[in-house]
Amino acid sequence: MKKNNIYVIIAALVGLGLGYLFFGSSTTSTSEDDNKHTHATADELWTCSMHPQILKNEPGDCPICGMELIPASGENDSTDTNQFKMTENAMALANIQTSIVGNSTVGNSVVKLSGKIKPNEDKTYTQSAHFNGRIEKLYIKSLGETVQKGQPIAVVYSPELVSAQQELITASKMQNSQPKLYEAVKNKFMNWMIPEKEINDIINSGKAKSRFTIYAHISGVVTSLDVSEGGHMMDGKPIFQTADLQTVWAVFDAYEKQIPILKVGQEINITSNSYPNKILTENITYIDPILNTETRTVEIRTVLNNKDNLLKPGMFVEGEIANTDKTIGSQLNIPTTSVMWTGKRSVVYVKQAGETPIFEMREIEIGANNGTSYTVISGLKNGEEIVTNGTFTVDAAAQLQGKPSMMKP
- Is residue 270 located within the same domain as residue 317? yes
Strand partners, 254: 298
49-58, 59-68, 220-229, 272-281: range with lowest mean pLDDT: 49-58
Where does the pLDDT of residue 15 fall: very low under 50, low under 70, confident under 90, or very high at 90 and above?
Answer: low
- Is residue 133 located within the same domain as residue 222? yes
Where does the pLDDT of residue 30 fall: very low under 50, low under 70, confident under 90, or very high at 90 and above?
Answer: very low
- Is residue 134 located within the same domain as residue 193? yes
Q: Give the chain's domain count.
A: 3
Residue that terminates a domain, selected from 198, 215, 243: 243
Q: What is the pLDDT of the chain when averaged over all its residues?
A: 81
In this predicted structure, the answer to whether residue 248 has a pLDDT above a threshold of 80 is yes
- Is residue 132 located within the same domain as residue 169? yes
- Is residue 301 located within the same domain as residue 351? no
Which pLDDT tens digit goes with each residue over 296-324? 889 999 999 999 889 999 999 999 888 76
- Is residue 366 located within the same domain as residue 266? no
Which pLDDT tens digit goes with each residue over 131-189? 999 999 999 989 989 999 999 999 999 998 888 998 999 888 888 888 899 889 888 88
In this predicted structure, the answer to whether residue 40 has a pLDDT above a threshold of 60 is no
Q: Comparing 260 with 249, which gets the higher pLDDT?
A: 249
Task: Classify residue 46: in a domain, yes or no.
Answer: no
Which pLDDT tens digit goes with each residue over 206-247? 888 888 899 999 899 999 999 999 999 999 999 999 999 999
Where does the pLDDT of residue 56 fall: very low under 50, low under 70, confident under 90, or very high at 90 and above?
Answer: confident
Task: Classify residue 14: in a domain, yes or no.
Answer: no
For residues 52-64, average pLDDT? 81
The CATH code of the domain that includes 294 is 2.40.30.170
- Is residue 312 located within the same domain as residue 370? no
- Is residue 142 located within the same domain as residue 164? yes
In this predicted structure, the answer to whether residue 82 has a pLDDT above a threshold of 80 is no
Domain span at 261: 110-120+245-322
In this predicted structure, the answer to whether residue 384 has a pLDDT above a threshold of 80 is yes
- Is residue 227 located within the same domain as residue 252? no
- Is residue 141 located within the same domain as residue 234? yes
Which pLDDT tens digit goes with each residue over 88-120? 887 888 888 888 887 654 334 678 888 999 999
pLDDT of residue 328: 53
Residue that terminates a domain, selected from 228, 243, 258: 243
pTM above 0.85, yes or no: no
Task: Classify residue 406: in a domain, yes or no.
Answer: no
In this predicted structure, the answer to whether residue 75 has a pLDDT above a threshold of 70 is no
